[in-house]
Structure 1
Amino acid sequence: MSMICGIHRRTPGPVTGLAAMRAALPGAESATSAAWTDGAAGFGWRGDARLRKDRPGCTPLLDPGPGLAVTASARLDDRSGLCDALDIARGERAALPDSALLLRAYARWGRDCPNHLLGDFAFALWDARRRTLFLARDPVGTRPLLYSLSVDRIVFASDVGAVLAAPGVSDELDEATVAALLAPRPAVLGERTCYRTIRRLPPGHTLTVTQDTVRLDRWWRPENVPAAPTLGDDAVAEAFLALYASAVEDRLRGVGRVGVHLSGGLDSSSVAALATRANRRSGRPLPLTFSWQPPPRDGPNGPAEPAEHALIEAVCTAHGLEPIYCPPDAAGILDYVRRDGTRDLEVNPHEEPVRRAAAGRGVRVLLSGWGGDEGVSFNGRGYEAGLLRRGRFVPLWRFARERSRRPLAAILLRAALPLVWPDAARTLLDLRRGRPPARRRGFAHPGFAQRVRPPPVSALPRSGARETQLHLLRQGHLAERMDGWATSGAQRGIEYAYPLLDRRLLEFALGLPAERYRHGAGHRWLMRHGLRSLLPAEVRLHTSKQDPVRFGAFQAAVAAALPQVRTLLDARSVPPLRSGYLDMPRLRACLDPERHLAAPQYGGLLVALRFLDF
């Protein structure tokens, strides 16, 4: 994964601090770096220019004719179609890096150029003639891009630490964001960061900055995706699978060793199956599969396989793969909580063992099924409430009878209740898991919590599958995880890729009627029907998303790390600087491993420890 940074002076004066920013960019020891400067702008880049053998590297590039320069973290798809639209001769195309195509796209379409791009990208472009800096991010935010804007300049980078490395960027905390982090249910931050002067460029947006103006535009609007033509079940499934296979192949093209997440669920299993099929057909090495679960334990009659292991093994057996299990351990958890959570974007402590194992095996690109639940693997949540709200009582009754032996109760629970209480499903799930909402407590100091309120959280729509799907895409949790994996992956020379978040596949999903997700007696119909030829039936028809083996191993690792955390805190002669924001007596009480195992609350606890920065 390549990382970028840069500075644009909005007032007269030299560009200073670029070298410090470039040095702060995450990257493996083998990563190369490059820089470019002009009188009013300077760009930096760090990454592997040889990651893809089918195209030159995407380092900073200058086109002196129109006076354009670009730095990018990008992998453009459908290069052939883009080159056709840009009238680039066929003999010239292979030698052009993606950064050159970005320059030509901007020269042709200006600020509208992202609409003509497919793939994963975050880039910055300097237009010397217009004295304009242009930043752009792909629809779902697969590549991070943050910035700090002031009257005299704008500083941007792929990483918070690189932005803070620029001289004069304030490290003053944004207390409203801190309040959100330490709330009973830690919030998704969206475009905010923990620093008052640093913001994320939201996915699907561009930022145009001149000496006098700042313009933030949203270029991708999923709510405007048109409805798909009406097709039969098999035709829809075939169209979906063709798009999906293409999305996976685009992320494999020109890459050496590839890894794939494998949990045994529909999303990761289908990515693994399609990647295996594509590599087998092209003669490339089969992907390596990595799972967060611990290895199966041996029982008296051989390996004891809970459902999670059985599903993983079924996928591997069907496609000739070997599972690599990467469970967390206490040392990894301790390392995770000791990283400054205001700077380190990683939000998932499960992933570091996978990165370590993948890097040790030479993996360059790691495919993930992240994002499927918001696209083609959406479960149709809100469908019943939408039928009730629109007065479609006959289809609602028919649907409830197909899915439940008590259709009236099902209508009350899944259609009527969400109309008056949109968060009912989450609250009922908490109660089922023994976590009454009244008992949820964050780790903020009571005085701080009373003085500072977190920003408001956008409410879940009251009804409608489409409305719910759009809400999930805008919520920010997708980009939040990908930001962390991008920066952490870069440190090990690994690039993450997300086939299920391919723009073509997402727009296909958004164009489908809700019935395609809640077809018949099941949910996630499109995936289950479309993957009949790829996945074993026990994987394709498995409906539970619970993975107690993984969570149990993780909870045990956290419990084993907590005494070490307590020892480190007790050894300090003075409290950590940020301890005033936290309810330290409560935090210390939660460091008891027995208490943790009896009532795990690792999410808020780990967030609080990472914020503490001890």
Structure 2
Amino acid sequence: MSSFFVVANPPGRPIDSAIANRLLQSLAWRGPDGQSQWTYEHIALGYAHLSVDDLTQTVPPLTFDEAIWLAADIRLDARSELCRALRSAGFDASLDMPDARLLWQAYRAWGLDCLQHLRGDFAFALWDATRQRLFCARDRFAIKPLYYHHQQDLLIAASALDTVRAHPSVPTTIPTDLDDFAIADFLIHGMKMDEDATIYRAIRRLRRASAFCLENGTLRQWQYWTWPTDGCLRHAHPRDYVEHFQFLLEQAVADRLRAPRAAVFLSGGLDSNVVVHAARQFTPTTALHAFTNVFDQLIPDDERYFAGLAAQAHGIPITFIRHDDWQPYVPHPDVLHPPPEPVHEPFWNGITESYRQVARHARLLLTGQWGDEVLAQQTAPYLRHLLAQRQLLAFGRAVLDYVISDGRQGFYAIRRRLGRKSAAQPPTPPRWLAADFAHRLRQSGYVEHLRGNLPAAELPQHPFRSLAVRFLSRVHLANDHEYGDPAFTGALVEMRYPLLDQRVIEFLLAIPPVPFCLDKWLFREALSRRLPRAVVRRAKTPLRQFPISGYIARHGTAWAQIFAADEAWQSLSYFVDEAIVGRPLLWNAQPEDQSFVDLSPLSLYKWMQYQCCLSQHSA
């Protein structure tokens, strides 16, 4: 994915060219296919280009008219529809135009309202010299990252966190400039729980489907899109839903598969396979190569067998990436850039290797991620909806479909769940939090903040798919998309998510959830004539065991200790009690989740070690 930055000083304060060069240099490794920079008085834009597909072969100029300056990491969907709308508005548009040029035309046509016409994955910074307006935005599903720092006399935005950090006016000293809430989230949950947050107080993330505008010295931020809740699509026959879904998914894949070579993360489950099936149907000439992460010895794992069956049925080559031999928390030997934020994954080295192997084949990577979320459903709300609408025949059919689909629970399980509400309780703070840190959290209202972070009341109320909306609105999507960014993986690979296509989402939120979302009925039917029955009928199978449990069973926990002998511990002690120093990890495989929480101080400690090494090297 290409990368960019923008710096806006107050009028009358010119840009320091040395700082602009420093920011561009921080992006150079992410965009080896060309860099460009523009500076005028108090504004600077920088861009580093990564050629991923046929429409990104040429580095786009930063301006097309010397009036509007644009740097973007962008891939647009439904380009034909956008071109028709632009031509209707009196502007030139054609399918061979790069996405950045279409964005420029959209802004000329509709101004800030151009976001209503853009579909796809994007983050951009646009400077309108005529209006003296800086306009930045991020896509609907938080696929493209955008970070920013704003103080009264300075605004910096960039698609890479380390680029914002590279500006000397941004305070990022460890540990004093770390964000207490973000650190607490990491230590308790293993990730940030606030979509606005980064690990640094002074740097924020722009939320999904959000934009901001700096004009006349005022920064205004807004959300430009929310989940559709009023769609109601009804076909005459079940097969019509399958064909409609396949048509939309093929469009989504085609918009993302604009290259002669591509890779796909393939498992033996349904989500990635429904994406591969669409790719083979619509773009059969693309050299598609599957990559599958497997464990042969460390933990029980059947992915090699099931993914192999699937790849053979699709007629594509497959590479199995073994993860049995990695040691926890050992940096990958070939990755020069440690993650910009801590990652609570002891085997991040193995994940990094997966992306590096993909990068040897292609820079474009498809994934079937988020299939569980887009099909998440609760049967009871739909049944209540049918009863409220007095659709008794449809109600009877839905009950029958449910009983057939999930005979293990049956109708009485539905009845018990009618109207049942689950209230998530805030987790108990770990015993090893430093007393001063715990006191700061209480004084600053951390628990209240956690309870109020993305409350259900703020989400649009879908009549019967609220669970899917809630799952898709979780901060996990934004976090996981960041983890697939080159800043974290160290590999020049762009992830693309066909199941997060707006057309697909609108369709899935409009169809009856029973039977089409039950047990992924829609996906199974789409694959029933393509894949072996063993794959199509396979039940949902997450990893049977945490890989770290398998490693500990073989090697113990002597490696999982923190020693108060370096600068990293001095930083960690700002948040973690010294009683944890030198104490061996007590790993309880039942439950693994709680034991995994007890590894989070070590994950934070290792990240701080990397940051200390970087600081010493740069000094």
Normalised by the length of structure 1, the TM-score is 0.83
- Give SS of 1:142's match: coil
- Give SS of 1:70's match: strand
Spell out the pairing of 1:481-500 with structure 2 (5 A cutoff): 481-488=480-487, 491-500=490-499
Match of 1:343 in 2: 341
Which amino acid in structure 2 is aligned with residue 9 of structure 1? N
Give the 3 Å change call, closer, same or farther, for CA 517–197 of structure 1 in structure 2. Answer: farther
Match of 1:199 among 196, 204, 218: 204
Match of 2:614 in 1: none
Match of 1:537 among 533, 539, 560: 533
Distance in 1 separating the partners of 2:308 and 2:361: 23
Which amino acid in structure 2 is aligned with residue 176 of structure 1? F
Which amino acid in structure 1 is aligned with residue 70 of structure 2? V
Residue 40 (str. 1) matches residue 36 (str. 2): no
CA contact (8 A) 1:334 1:561 kept: no
- Give SS of 2:200's match: coil
Distance in 2 separating the partners of 1:384 and 1:2: 45
CA-CA distance at 1:605 after TM superposition: 4.5
Match of 1:148 in 2: 149
CA contact (8 A) 1:4 1:46 kept: yes
Distance in 1 separating the partners of 2:260 and 2:296: 27
Match of 1:432 in 2: none
CA contact (8 A) 2:6 2:43 kept: yes
CA-CA distance at 1:364 after TM superposition: 1.1
- Please give the per-residue CA displacement for 1:245-285, whole angstroms capped at 9, x wherever unaligned: 121122111x2431111121111122233334444x33x32
CA-CA distance at 1:140 after TM superposition: 0.2
Match of 2:504 in 1: 505
Match of 1:327 in 2: 322
Distance in 2 separating the partners of 1:92 and 1:467: 38
Match of 1:113 in 2: 114
Which amino acid in structure 2 is aligned with residue 415 of structure 1? L
- Give SS of 1:523's match: helix
Residue 411 (str. 1) matches residue 414 (str. 2): yes
Give the 3 Å change call, closer, same or farther, for CA 561–570 of structure 1 in structure 2. Answer: farther
Which amino acid in structure 2 is aligned with residue 576 of structure 1? Q
Distance in 2 separating the partners of 1:317 and 1:296: 24
- Give SS of 1:580's match: coil
Larger relative contact order, structure 1 or 2 (CA cutoff 8 Å, min sep 6): 1
- Give SS of 1:236's match: helix
Match of 1:445 in 2: 434
Which amino acid in structure 2 is aligned with residue 3 of structure 1? S
CA contact (8 A) 1:383 1:464 kept: no
Match of 1:27 in 2: 29
CA-CA distance at 1:597 after TM superposition: 5.7
Match of 2:273 among 227, 244, 269: 269
Residue 556 (str. 1) matches residue 554 (str. 2): no
- Give SS of 2:155's match: strand
Distance in 1 separating the partners of 2:31 and 2:4: 16
CA-CA distance at 1:5 after TM superposition: 1.0
Match of 2:8 in 1: 8
CA contact (8 A) 1:74 1:120 kept: yes
- Give SS of 1:223's match: coil
CA-CA distance at 1:12 after TM superposition: 2.5
Spell out the pairing of 1:217-236 with structure 2 (5 A cutoff): 217-224=222-229, 226-236=231-241
Match of 2:261 in 1: 257
- In structure 2, stretches of 5+ residues that fail to align are 610-619
Match of 2:616 in 1: none
CA contact (8 A) 1:345 1:487 kept: no
CA contact (8 A) 1:384 1:464 kept: no
CA-CA distance at 1:446 after TM superposition: 4.3
- Give SS of 1:215's match: strand
Match of 1:581 in 2: 575
Distance in 2 separating the partners of 1:390 and 1:237: 22
Match of 2:615 in 1: none
Give the 3 Å change call, closer, same or farther, for CA 137–92 of structure 1 in structure 2. Answer: closer
CA-CA distance at 1:169 after TM superposition: 1.1
CA contact (8 A) 2:264 2:367 kept: yes
- Give SS of 1:129's match: coil
Distance in 1 separating the partners of 2:300 and 2:409: 34
Give the 3 Å change call, closer, same or farther, for CA 100–581 of structure 1 in structure 2. Answer: same
CA contact (8 A) 1:223 1:470 kept: no
CA-CA distance at 1:420 after TM superposition: 3.6
CA contact (8 A) 1:326 1:354 kept: yes
Match of 1:528 in 2: 524
CA contact (8 A) 1:77 1:119 kept: yes
Which amino acid in structure 1 is aligned with residue 376 of structure 2? N
Distance in 1 separating the partners of 2:110 and 2:474: 29
Distance in 2 separating the partners of 1:468 and 1:366: 28
Which amino acid in structure 2 is aligned with residue 5 of structure 1? F
CA-CA distance at 1:226 after TM superposition: 2.7
- Please give the per-residue CA displacement for 1:164-183, whole angstroms capped at 9, x wherever unaligned: 11121122222122222222
- How many equivalent pairs are there? 576
Match of 1:604 in 2: 597
CA contact (8 A) 1:144 1:158 kept: yes
Which amino acid in structure 2 is aligned with residue 526 of structure 1? L
Match of 2:376 in 1: 379
Match of 1:74 in 2: 74
Match of 2:308 among 295, 310, 313: 313
Give the 3 Å change call, closer, same or farther, for CA 3–512 of structure 1 in structure 2. Answer: same
Which amino acid in structure 2 is aligned with residue 528 of structure 1? R
CA-CA distance at 1:544 after TM superposition: 2.3
Give the 3 Å change call, closer, same or farther, for CA 229–464 of structure 1 in structure 2. Answer: closer
CA contact (8 A) 1:443 1:583 kept: yes
- 596-605 vs 288-297, which moves further: 596-605
Distance in 1 separating the partners of 2:568 and 2:604: 17
- Give SS of 2:24's match: helix
Distance in 1 separating the partners of 2:110 and 2:91: 21
Match of 1:515 in 2: 514
CA contact (8 A) 2:263 2:289 kept: yes
- Give SS of 1:62's match: coil
Give the 3 Å change call, closer, same or farther, for CA 311–64 of structure 1 in structure 2. Answer: same
Which amino acid in structure 1 is aligned with residue 341 of structure 2? R
Which amino acid in structure 1 is aligned with residue 5 of structure 2? C
- Give SS of 1:207's match: strand
Distance in 1 separating the partners of 2:548 and 2:28: 27
Which amino acid in structure 1 is aligned with residue 270 of structure 2? L
Give the 3 Å change call, closer, same or farther, for CA 372–397 of structure 1 in structure 2. Answer: closer
CA-CA distance at 1:81 after TM superposition: 3.0
- Please give the per-residue CA displacement for 1:44-69, whole angstroms capped at 9, x wherever unaligned: 11232x3322455454521336x101
CA-CA distance at 1:142 after TM superposition: 1.0
- 110-119 vs 320-329, which moves further: 320-329
CA-CA distance at 1:367 after TM superposition: 0.8
CA contact (8 A) 2:355 2:491 kept: yes
Which amino acid in structure 2 is aligned with residue 585 of structure 1? A
Give the 3 Å change call, closer, same or farther, for CA 363–56 of structure 1 in structure 2. Answer: closer
Which amino acid in structure 2 is aligned with residue 10 of structure 1? P
Normalised by the length of structure 2, the TM-score is 0.82
CA-CA distance at 1:118 after TM superposition: 2.3
Match of 1:301 in 2: none
Which amino acid in structure 2 is aligned with residue 8 of structure 1? A
Give the 3 Å change call, closer, same or farther, for CA 390–196 of structure 1 in structure 2. Answer: farther
User: Superposition RMSD on alpha carbons, in Å?
Assistant: 3.6
- 446-455 vs 262-271, which moves further: 446-455
Match of 2:617 in 1: none
Which amino acid in structure 1 is aligned with residue 379 of structure 2? Y
CA-CA distance at 1:486 after TM superposition: 1.7
Give the 3 Å change call, closer, same or farther, for CA 406–541 of structure 1 in structure 2. Answer: closer
Give the 3 Å change call, closer, same or farther, for CA 600–47 of structure 1 in structure 2. Answer: farther
Distance in 1 separating the partners of 2:591 and 2:70: 51
- Give SS of 2:199's match: coil
CA contact (8 A) 1:3 1:47 kept: yes
Match of 1:431 in 2: none
CA-CA distance at 1:244 after TM superposition: 0.6
CA contact (8 A) 1:330 1:561 kept: no
- 86-95 vs 178-187, which moves further: 86-95
CA-CA distance at 1:398 after TM superposition: 5.4
Match of 1:237 in 2: 242
